[in-house]
Amino acid sequence: MKKVVKLLGVLMLGLLVVSGCGNGNVKKDDASTAKKAPEELTLYIVRHGKTMLNTTDRVQGWSDAVLTKAGEDVVTAAGVGLKDIEFQNAYSSDSGRAIQTANLIVKENEKSSDLKVITDERLREFNFGTYEGDLNHTMWQDIADDQGVTLEEFMKNMTPESFANSVAKLDAKNVEEAKVNWPAEDYKTITTRLKAGLDDIVEKEMKNEGSGNVLIASHGLSISALLATLFDDYKIPEGGLKNASVCTVNYKDGKYTLDKINDLSYVEAGQKK
């Protein structure tokens, strides 16, 4: 009988230990340790690295080229600088240079290296129609001539809106080529697709579980146009957004807030390591 009582005592003690009672520990509710949907998002919007068409000073909108070695290096440095930030998802335009940029950053990340980059064609650069692949100088000079200003005056006062609308106007005159080519986009067309793409990303990620940090790889003019659409006081930096620069935008309670523009601190931090 004593053996039976002793055995029952051992079994009860085992149950207490397993359940977390009797030793000062309280078993945590599984729900308390699960990830929750974020209350706010931080969007890390990155411009792609330098490409081969950038190097030859060619118009590069919907047309595409791979990153140069220097382009890969600066994006990798940005990735190293961002390596401690846990991303709950990563997006890019469907252009190869943006996809390559996003993948290089994700590869360096210590907390999100298993993410698969999601592409969205709405995050593309401006489409320049028949100017695609031409020399940038040719396009810029044509715009300046059409506006009746010098090239220097055009470059000094250029905005994404005036730029896009001028290209669309000039491209529309190339009737024959327009029959077989995608026409250049005006500013309203561009900003409508960009804003719709971003809003869809935000809506989706606010429902996803995770850190609230989202990576987006896009293009210089498109990022500036998007920020100008979201924020009335946004001004494009002199010389444009730099390769692998980061613009951070916060989203909470249905409102976007601009944090940093053309931030190269992540590149600089990565280059020191």
Digit-coded pLDDT (tens) for 213-228:
999 999 999 999 999 9
Q: Where are the alpha helices (DSSP H) in the chain?
A: 2-19, 30-33, 52-55, 69-81, 96-108, 136-147, 151-157, 160-171, 175-178, 187-207, 220-230, 265-271
Q: Which phi and psi angles does 202 have, rounded to 5°?
A: -65, -45
**Nearest-CA neighbor of 226 among 150, 126, 77?**
126
User: What count of residues does the chain have?
Assistant: 273
Name 258's bridge partners. 249
What radius of gyration do the chain's Cα atoms show?
26
Alpha-carbon span 149 to 165, nearest angstrom: 16
Per-residue pLDDT reduced to its tens digit, 109-143: 999 999 999 999 999 999 999 999 999 999 999 99
User: Please, which residues have CB within 8 angstroms of residue 158's CB and are 6 or more apart in sequence?
Assistant: none
pTM summary value: 0.85
Distance CA 149, CA 159 (A): 14
Q: Which residues, in sequence order, are CB contacts of 273 under 8 Å at separation 6+?
A: 80
**213-218 and 246-252 as β-strands: parallel, antiparallel, unpaired?**
unpaired
Q: Say how many C-beta atoms besides its own lie within 10 A of residue 227's C-beta.
A: 21
Amino acid type, 228: A
| Residue-averaged pLDDT of the chain | 88
Residue type, 133: G
On the question of pLDDT at 161 being above 60, the answer is yes
Best CA proximity match to 89, nearest among 104, 77, 106, 75: 106
The 10s digit of each residue's pLDDT in 1-32 is: 444 444 444 434 443 333 443 334 333 344 44
pLDDT at 34: 57
Mean pLDDT across the stretch 47-58? Answer: 96
CA 246 – CA 80 distance, rounded (Å): 13
Task: Identify the CA nearest to 106 among candidates 118, 115, 98, 97.
Answer: 115
pLDDT (0 to 100) of residue 239 = 87
Which of helix, strand or coil describes residue 51? strand
149 has pLDDT over 60: yes
- Rounded CA-CA distance 272/111 in Å is 20
Handedness of CA 266, 267, 269, 270 (dihedral sign): positive
